[in-house]
Structure 1
Amino acid sequence: MPIYCKRLHKKADTDDGYRIFVEKEWPNEVEEVRADIHEWVDGVAPSKELQKALDEEPKKFDSFKEAYKAELEQDELKREELQRLKEIVRMQDKDVTLVFSSEDVKRNHAWVLKEILDQQPAHPKE
């Protein structure tokens, strides 16, 4: 099934499929009920330091991407949460949308997660 990325502030749509929020904190300006989130996997969000570096220099997205992937591999909790996210995605029989709150809709960690998830084998049909 395809994996998409979508900003939390955009209206949920039935085409989104299973919506997974991948941020550490919930933005105050968005009501959880209206966001139509099925899962919240906050443990895969980048560290504050890494996120701050990206916010300050969004043009350095490639270096953020490499540092974030390293963080996901080296931090035990993040590694476990990434594995949990992979399992959630693998078990879906419909499209999955990774929901993020970043204002930059193309350069954020959700797209890195999508890249990682796209590389995993699909769930075998029974």
Structure 2
Amino acid sequence: MRRTAAVLAGTAALSAVFIPQAVAAPAEIIAPNARAAAEVNFNGALERQKNVTDSHQVSQGLYCVIVNPSANINLSNALILANGGPSTTSVSTIGKPTLACDNRRDAITVVTLRDGHPVNGNFTIAVL
């Protein structure tokens, strides 16, 4: 009986690991003067957003932030401001299509650096 209970307990614990977990939608950013905005985690996860549908990490220190096409923002001539977290010394953004983001017109390419070298880091962006 003990052995059966131990096996059942182990099976229950394993099945709990494999149950798909619901992923919460990113919280909304209240930014009345920004057309789009995002807070992105070091691993590319979108934490909070305004008119941003997705974000992902391409490689070390290189990210794509996807702006909602229905926002009708021409990113190639928009003012995009960025700020990095404590692990970065600079953050750069590119609003024009890049190979890193599959030449998407609705993508912002973000590069996070520490002392001139790519590093994974949190960042925020705002499109004005």
Normalising by structure 1, what TM-score? 0.25
Q: Between Structure 1 and Structure 2, whose CA radius of gyration is higher? A: 2
- Output the TM-score relative to the length of structure 2: 0.25
Higher relative contact order (CA 8 A, sep 6+): 1
| Larger strand percent | 2
More helix as a share of residues: 1
